[in-house]
Each structure stands twice: as C-alpha cells, then as structure tokens.
Chains A and B, each alone.
Chain A
Amino acid sequence: MTADGACHDRTLPEAAYAAALAGLPDVGPTRLRRLLDGAEPSQAWARVLASHPLDTGRRWRAVAQRTDVAGNWSTMGRLGIGVLVLGGPRYPVALESDPGAPAVLFHLGDPTVIDDMPRVGIVGTRTATRYGLGVAAQLGAELAATGVAVVSGLALGVDSAAHEGAVAGWESGRPTSAPPVAVVAGGLDSPYPKAGARLWERVAGTGVVLSESPIGTGLERWRFPKRNRILAALSEVLIVVECHQQGGSLHTVRAAMSRGISVGAVPGSIRSPASAGTNDLLADGCFPVRDVTDVMVALGLARAGLSPVRQRRPRGRSETRARTRDAAGGERGSGTPAGDSRPIGAIAAASAGEAERPCGRVGVHETASGWLLDAIGWERCSVDQILRRTGCSLAEVSVELERLAARGDLRSDGAWWERV
C-alpha cells in the first residue's frame, strides 16, 4: 500500500489509524500521546508518513509506509478487538483524568462495563502458595458476587486465581454480580501465559480484557510495569494477596500509591517468603485484608465497626488456640528450640502426640483425626513433617491422610498436604 493510498482511504475509521500509530516501533505511552496531541489519528498518521527522511521519525516513516492499516484493521475486526482513543467515545472515564492514561487502548469484550461499577485490583506473585491462590480466588468470587469488578493482570498465580474466582462469581448469576476486568501487557491476539488461554477467553467473554499493545506485539519486558500503571489507575482499591519481598507486584503498589489509591494487603505467615512483601506492606501502613468486608469498608460500601457484622468462619480456630495454651502450660519445662519452623499449634500437638501417641494401632479407626489436622496446622507441610510431629508410623499416618482427603478436609499434590 502506498503512502498516498493510506492517507486518502476515507472508508477507514480514525480508530484504525490510532491502532497503526500504536504499532510504530518504540512508541511508548508518552510518545503516543505526543503524536496524538491535538490531532486526529489520521492526521497524525499522515504526519508520520510525510516526516522528513532526516527527521527523528524517519524509522517510523519507513515502518509506516510498509504498514497495511486497512489489513490490520480487518484482522482486529475479525478477532473482535476494538480500539479506544483517549478523549473518544467509550474510553473509560476512570482512566481519562489519569496522568498516565494510555492514548490508545485495545480491548476484547465490552469496555463500557468498567465505568458501571466499583473496581478493586487484585495482584500478587506468580509463584503463590496454595494459601495465596485460595485467598485470591475467594476474594475474587465474593467481590464479583457483591457487584465489585475485579481488575487483575491475568498473570500466573494470584492474578489468575483472582480472575478464576471473579468469573465464577459472575457466573453465579446473582443480579448484583460484576464482570471481571483484565489488563494485560502483550497484544490481544496472543494470550500469555499460554496455559491461561482459556481463562483469558472466559474473562473476555464475560467482562473485558484491555491492553495498550497492538496486535502482533511480542512479549517485551518494559510493557509489564507500564501495564501495571493502568491496572492501578483502574482500581479504586488495590489488594496485594501474596508478594515476595522484591516482587513485581510492588510496581503496581507504587503506581497506586502515587495516585492516592488505597492499598490493602492480605496478611500471611511471617515464615512464608511468598508473604514477605505483603507483610512489609502491612507494616508500612497498608490496611489488612482479612475478608471481603475489609475491602468493602475500604471502598466505602460497608461500615466498619466492632459489632458482630463481620461473621468470621469458626474453622476450629478457637479450639486450636485453647489446646495450644493448655499444652504450652504443660510443656513449659521443655521449652521450644530456637529456629523451629513449626507453627505453635503444631509444636503443641507434636509434644502432646509424643506423650500419648494419638495413633495407637487399636484406636486408629475410631479417632476423629483431630490430632492429625492439628499436626498439619494451617501451612503446607510434607509427610516427613507430619511423621515428625505425630510420632506415628507412615502406615498409620498415610491411611488417615487418605481418609481425610476423601472427606475433603485435606488436599494434597502428593508430596505436600494442606488443610482446606
């Protein structure tokens, strides 16, 4: 296609030229905004084509002359990818006033859902523990069901779990439920990570997937932190579920803090490296997220109070605590070895177990398996740790583990066991 042809093709909408401009090499958000400043996309495109060969824009000119604007436009139409231009119709109001608002935004799904409802960003590490994944999925589902849109990045780990939950919450079919919103770094024609392609489709089908990158963009490192600013800007409250000490989620947190968006963090075990970042955030003054009510309070949609509004699930916690106190009283003399990585409850259970061996061969069929659940505690633990804490034989422990798993009280990937 010649330069003239591109300019004079009046059948193409402005959005097609906006998409083409975003596809020029090394065009970041700032340059794109400068290109589109006070000009229609088609005019800006014509300016690029006409730029003097010795100008800084000569690489752009060369690329622009080769670009098949109409072809790309029809490809995007076929894939269902739409284009939003800053200041144009349907552009999310939430982003419009943001200093880093992307000049051109690509979307899969319906972008108008964004402005209809409160939005909460959920982010976290890609290498999450089962705890983090569970919390992310639970928050996602409960928020979506109560009408709060979940904004996340569709990355592995926490992001995917949150979206999984949000899609499930949306599909629960309550009249109040909200669709999910995703902001991704790469082009919308190639889902990344590949393993999450199905989730990607489901999010696009129920809500919207946004990206700053034009189609055909490969994975470029710098696009991930840039994406994070959009994610932060779209959120009214940002929640970090699990994050390592120097984790990438902290980019998003910084972007949110610089915009005055309140950031919440899910507390985790102080021994879990995957919770080190979130615990740091809590120490720095972020509000703690224990359940969906905490988030609703932060959004201003629920009232904080000491009243029994918050209904915590019992989960046998008080029971464990009482037993811990008893056992600690009885075991004062022995003391706890330094550097022991077991939760306090488990130490108590173990010392109690060694004293009376809860798993005597005769009693094994009658016991309610409470001793085993206590020994496992609330962290993932290995079979070796369980053996050590209970003092039982592998046969006794493994048969009881299988029973608890069949009952749904425990989950395992084989090597590691965890309470549900």
Chain B
Amino acid sequence: MIAVVPSATLVGAVGQPVLVEVHVSNGLPGFTVVGLPDAAVRESRDRVRSALLSSGLPWPLRRVTVNLAPSSVRKGGCGLDLPIAVGLLVASGELPAHRTEGMAFIGELGLDGSLRHVPGMIALAGAVTGRSLVVPGDDAGEAAAGRPGPVRATESLRELVDALSERQPWPTVRSGVPERDGKDHGGSSAGPIQCGGASSGADLAEVCGQRLGRRALEVAAAGGHHLLLVGPPGSGKTMLAERLPGLLPSLGSEEALEVSRVHSAAGLPLPPGGLIACPPFRAPHHSASAVSLVGGGTWSMRPGEISLADHGVLFLDEMGEFPAVVLDALRQPLEEGVVRISRARGTATFPARFLLVGAMNPCPCGEGGAPGACRCSDAARARYARRISAPLLDRFDLAVSVSRPDPDEMFGQGGGEPTTVVRGRVLAVRALAAGRGVRSNADLGSASLSVHTRLTPPAKALLEHHLRAGRLSARGLHRIRRVARTLADLDDAAELIDEEHAAEALALRSGRSALAIGSLR
C-alpha cells in the first residue's frame, strides 16, 4: 500500500515542497530511502523505528521503500522524520488514509517518540502544500508566522496518533504563540509587533559630543547610505554604529517575514512573537571568513552574516583588519541586494539588502591625521589604506572622521538628541523616498536622479569646482547628489538641492581623505 505525505525541506533560506511517498509491500523486511537524501535523512530510519516502538506502535516486518519527491532536489535535515513515520503508519494500515488527508507534517523524532525543533521552520511552513500543517510544539509560533493556513502542534508521536484517530482531542498549543492556529486565516497581513526605536537599549542621547558622527548616523539611517567611520581608538565609532538600528524604521510585514526566514534558516532563535520586527544588527569579528560572511558551507547552504543583516545593519569594526578577499566578496551583494551562492550541490539565493557600516583607524598607530600626533611613515599609512580596495571604498556614500570627544564634553550632560527624536526625522525622509518609488534615497537610479536631485546654481557651481579640481569623480558626483537629496529631505523636504546641501554632502564624505596617503601635502 502507498501513502503520500506532504512535507518540505530547506534549500538555502528557501523552503522546497517535498512529497514523502512510503510503500509497504511483501518481501524481505527492509527499509530503503531514495530521492537524494543526505546523511541525516538516511539516519531517520533508526529514529523512526525506535520512535514507533517506544510509542507503542508496530514496526512493519515487511519491505518499506521511502521516496522523497521531487527526486532531483537534495533533501537535508531531520524535519522529514515525522512525515516518514506518518506515511509508514498509513501505508501499513495503522492509520486510515482519510484521517491524514490534506495534512502536511514537519518534525524531528526523538527515540522516545517526542517531537523536536527543526531549524528554518518559517521557510518550511511557507513552502508546504496541504490545508493544515503539523509541527513540533516548539516550532508552532514560527510555523504560524510563516504560513497563512492553520497550524497544529503536538509534543509526541503518540499524541499525534491519538489525535488523528480521534481518540483524544488535539492538544492545545502552549502560550507565547500567536492566535494563528485553528481557523485564523489572517495570514501575514496581521503585521509584526511594532519595534520601538529606543527599546533596543542603546540611545543616541548617551553619545557625548560627536556632532559630525551623529549627523552622519542620522543621514545614513534616513537615506540608507553606507557609512564609514574613520577615527583613532576610543573615539566612539562602535558606540555610534550600535545606535544605528534604533534609528531605522521597523520592518514591514514582508520584510519581517524575509528576515525571520533567514534567521530561522540559520538556526537562530526567533523572538516569542514568531517574527523579527526590529532591524537586525550584525557585527562579525574581523577574523570572519568569506563563507561565514557571504554564506555557503560544505554540508548545508547556510546564510552568511550579510544575509542575517538583511534589512538591518552590518557593522564591520576594525575594517582594516578584515582580509581583503573577504571584504571584496561584499561588493556584488552590495550592488544587487542578493547573494547567489553556487556549489556543486546546487545554488542558493539569499537576500542581502543591508546597510554597511565600517569602522577603522586612519593608520596603523591609530592617531593619523591629528596634528603632529601620528608618527607612522607615509609608506605604512599607504599600506594600511590599501587594505580597503578603492571599489569598496567607493560604495560608502558617507565617510566621516571621528575624533575623541573633548574632556569637558565627557563630563557634560550629553545634551544630544535622543533616538526617538532623530528617528522621527528619519521616518519622514523614508516616507518621501517611498513617494519616489524607492526604499531609500540611496537606491535612486541614475535616471530618477536627474529628476529628483535638481541643483540650484550655487550648488552646481560648488560641485563643478570640485569636479574641476579633481577632488570628485563622476561616480562620486552621483553619490554626492543622493546624499544631498537626503539632506534636502531632512531640511524641511526642500525641492531643490541648495549649496548648503551640496557642501554638507561633501563634508560628510571627507573622511575618505583621512585614509589617503601623504595627506599633509
């Protein structure tokens, strides 16, 4: 007899529907799994057998063949334990076939028949076919977030079989799970919980001084411009960067789903609500490898740090210490907003639309630029500056040098604006950008650039002067215009870009020269 149970497997951060076909026939007792299973799936045989026996269910002493369709997709992970077990029960006649009709199953089995958490549940739940989905109790929240249809949760195989054969009612799901299971078909339109900017703990009001750095942070958040902070150790680069996510708008429901899917696929815990609502902040250490940053891996296609920072902030502290190969791997995702990873086993696409914040010292001793303080040789400074390739440096719209605050500011009452005030302005600018059909001003294409960034004559003269002096390239000009657009938006949504905006945009890019060699001449 044949049983077909819908389920899903994970390819990268995307779920793929899988049909588990179980055939039980006469012949020598045996158990075969076909259809490109990986080691974890092949091992499921032993888990399923023990789980059935310890749940008081029979193991058929007949020939069992399990096929995982479509057979061209490689299946990994242990989420297929439960559908195999259910298929086996149906095929051997333990469960009537109509009881499981239209139901999909995902879950890992323990030897005692209990059901365990499966990573990537949001993506898996979104991919399965079938009216309702049965998952382990731990995953009910995630599954409900990833899927509009009803979700049922059980704690063990025994509980499931009792419920299916209607000897017991379906168990109630534990607290902490949104009211999604059962008949709620609200789906993802319900929207995630709002993320208060200041709730992340780090407030902008705690930053002493740093007028330039704060301004750069505000502009970066408002316009989605990548930001490079250059400054000596202890000048507060990290402190500033950590406060950037608080300034960003909360994730929309689509964005929240995408971010949660990636986090879930990476096996990271999701918040109790099921969906991630705050823009993520990722700060990998500079010893990170290219694969850990970009994604990939030998056994599974795991999302990298840039995908985990999707719709949030990727902060690279001590950027000069990252290997050049690793940094240059960022260039393509920075342009395209996605990263495609190809391996012999297949290809995976992860989202990677992140805001890049880099922090580095201006020179090996760190003091570079301060009058007479740096004693690094020109050659050493040049070597240090070369660690960031020019194409990558070019992608930073904003580059400011951050200096240590004055002693009197350290003891002053901070006095800066709190995150909530700045965030209000950021949201207003984002709304203006949405009116232009882009997510943020940094995404303005060259065609819409000429429409939306018209310059006043003084502004034009200023930029022309810099172009002629060779301090600005054609690409640099485009970036300046985008930043100037953001500045004009912040300045009461001015229609035209004025000299002030252009000059400020230039000043917000001046940190690049702190990395230039022979800056004294």
Residue ranges of A at the interface with B (Cβ–Cβ < 8 Å): 126-131, 133, 156, 195, 242, 244, 272-275, 337-342, 379-380, 382-385, 387-388, 393-399, 401-402, 406, 412-416
Closest to A161 in B: B521
Verify A416–B408 contact, CB threshold 8 A. no
A186 vs chain B, min Cβ distance (A)? 16
Given A133-B520, A379-B371, A415 and B513 contact (CB-CB distance below 8 Å) = yes
Among B369, B512, B521, which residue has the most Cβ atoms of chain A within 10 A?
Answer: B521
Give Cα A253–Cα B211 distance, bound, in whole angstroms: 44
Verify B372–A272 contact, CB threshold 8 A. yes
Q: Top 5 A-B pairs ranked by shortest CB distance?
A: A414-B513, A274-B372, A398-B507, A414-B510, A399-B503
Q: Which of these, A128, A273, A383, contacts B520 with CB under 8 Å?
A: A128
Verify B504–A339 contact, CB threshold 8 A. no
Q: Which of these, B215, B465, B491, B512, contacts A414 with CB under 8 Å?
A: B512
Q: Does B487 have its Cβ within 8 Å of any Cβ on chain A?
A: yes
Verify B503–A401 contact, CB threshold 8 A. yes
A121 vs chain B, min Cβ distance (A)? 22
What chain A residues lie within 8 Å of B22 (beta carbons)? none
Listed by A's residue number, 25 A-B pairs whose Cβ atoms lie within 8 Å are A127-B376, A131-B371, A274-B371, A340-B406, A340-B408, A379-B371, A383-B400, A383-B510, A384-B212, A384-B213, A384-B401, A387-B212, A394-B212, A395-B501, A395-B503, A398-B506, A399-B503, A402-B462, A402-B499, A402-B503, A402-B506, A413-B513, A414-B512, A415-B514, A415-B519
Verify B499–A399 contact, CB threshold 8 A. yes
Contact flags (1/0) for B485-521 with A, using CB distance below 8 Å? 0010001000000011101101110111110101111
Verify A341–B406 contact, CB threshold 8 A. yes
Q: Which of these, A126, A388, A395, A416, contacts B409 with CB under 8 Å?
A: A388
Among A272, A341, A393, A399, which residue has the most Cβ atoms of chain B within 10 A?
Answer: A399
Verify A129–B372 contact, CB threshold 8 A. yes
Give Cα A327–Cα B468 distance, bound, in whole angstroms: 41
Q: Does B375 have its Cβ within 8 Å of any Cβ on chain A?
A: yes
Q: Does B238 have its Cβ within 8 Å of any Cβ on chain A?
A: no
Q: Does B341 have its Cβ within 8 Å of any Cβ on chain A?
A: no
Given A133-B520, A274-B372, A394 and B215 contact (CB-CB distance below 8 Å) = yes
Closest to A379 in B: B371
Closest to B520 in A: A130
Verify B211–A387 contact, CB threshold 8 A. yes
What chain B residues lie within 8 Å of A395 (beta carbons)? 487, 491, 500-501, 503-504
What chain B residues lie within 8 Å of A388 (beta carbons)? 209, 211, 406, 409
Classify chain B: how many residues form its interface, as a range: 35 or more
Verify B372–A382 contact, CB threshold 8 A. no
B399 vs chain A, min Cβ distance (A)? 9
A105 vs chain B, min Cβ distance (A)? 29
B303 vs chain A, min Cβ distance (A)? 36
Closest to B511 in A: A415
Residue ranges of B at the interface with A (Cβ–Cβ < 8 Å): 209-213, 215, 230, 369, 371-378, 400-403, 406-409, 462, 465, 487, 491, 499-501, 503-504, 506-508, 510-514, 516, 518-521
What chain B residues lie within 8 Å of A272 (beta carbons)? 371-372
Closest to B462 in A: A402
What chain B residues lie within 8 Å of A397 (beta carbons)? 507
Closest to B230 in A: A415
Among B230, B372, B462, which residue has the most Cβ atoms of chain A within 10 A?
Answer: B372
Closest to B491 in A: A395
What chain A residues lie within 8 Å of B512 (beta carbons)? 414
B466 vs chain A, min Cβ distance (A)? 9
B463 vs chain A, min Cβ distance (A)? 10
Q: Which of these, B403, B408, B487, contacts A384 with CB under 8 Å?
A: B403
Verify A384–B504 contact, CB threshold 8 A. no
Verify A398–B372 contact, CB threshold 8 A. no
Verify B500–A399 contact, CB threshold 8 A. yes
Q: Which of these, A127, A156, A338, A394, contacts B375 with CB under 8 Å?
A: A127
What chain A residues lie within 8 Å of B376 (beta carbons)? 127
Give Cα A401–Cα B215 distance, bound, in whole angstroms: 17
Verify B372–A127 contact, CB threshold 8 A. yes
Give Cα A130–Cα B518 distance, bound, in whole angstroms: 11
Verify A195–B211 contact, CB threshold 8 A. no
Give Cα A272–Cα B373 distance, bound, in whole angstroms: 8
Given A340-B408, A415-B511, A382 and B503 contact (CB-CB distance below 8 Å) = no
Give Cα A22–Cα B113 distance, bound, in whole angstroms: 91
Q: Which of these, B371, B408, B491, contacts A380 with CB under 8 Å?
A: B371
What chain B residues lie within 8 Å of A130 (beta carbons)? 371, 520
Give Cα A195–Cα B409 distance, bound, in whole angstroms: 41
Give Cα A318–Cα B354 distance, bound, in whole angstroms: 54
What chain A residues lie within 8 Å of B513 (beta carbons)? 413-415
Among A133, A340, A341, A382, which residue has the most Cβ atoms of chain B within 10 A?
Answer: A382
Give Cα A212–Cα B409 distance, bound, in whole angstroms: 54
Give Cα A399–Cα B378 distance, bound, in whole angstroms: 31
Q: Which of these, B215, B403, B501, B520, contacts A382 with CB under 8 Å?
A: B403
What chain A residues lie within 8 Å of B369 (beta carbons)? 382, 415-416
Sample of 19 further A-B pairs with CB below 8 A, known A156-B378, A414-B514: A129-B371, A133-B521, A272-B372, A342-B406, A382-B403, A383-B507, A384-B210, A384-B212, A384-B402, A385-B403, A393-B215, A394-B215, A399-B500, A401-B503, A402-B462, A402-B503, A406-B465, A415-B510, A415-B511
What chain B residues lie within 8 Å of A384 (beta carbons)? 209-213, 401-403
What chain B residues lie within 8 Å of A413 (beta carbons)? 513, 516, 519-520
What chain B residues lie within 8 Å of A398 (beta carbons)? 500, 503-504, 506-507
B486 vs chain A, min Cβ distance (A)? 12
Q: Which of these, B215, B373, B462, contacts A273 with CB under 8 Å?
A: B373
Give Cα A374–Cα B269 distance, bound, in whole angstroms: 56
Q: Which of these, B375, B377, B504, B520, contacts A129 with CB under 8 Å?
A: B520
Among A339, A384, A388, A396, which residue has the most Cβ atoms of chain B within 10 A?
Answer: A384
Closest to A412 in B: B510
B387 vs chain A, min Cβ distance (A)? 18
Closest to B466 in A: A402
